[in-house]
Structure 1
Amino acid sequence: MTIGPGLAGMPMDEWKIRTAKGKEYAFDTEQEAREALPEYGEGSTLWKRKAYRGLAGITMSPGGWTQVD
Structure 2
Amino acid sequence: MVMGPGLAGMPMDEWKIRTAGGKEYVFDSEDEARAALPDYGEGSTLWKRRAYRGIANTTVSSTGWIDVT
For normalisation by structure 2, the TM-score amounts to: 0.94
Q: Report the alpha carbon displacement of residue 58 of structure 1 after superposing the two structures with TM.
A: 1.1
Moved over 2 A (4+): none
The number of aligned residues is: 69
> Percent sequence identity over matched residues?
74
The normalised TM-score by structure 1 is 0.94
Structure 1 unaligned blocks of 5 or more: none
Partner of 1:40: 40
2:3 maps to 1:27: no
CA RMSD of aligned residues (A): 0.8
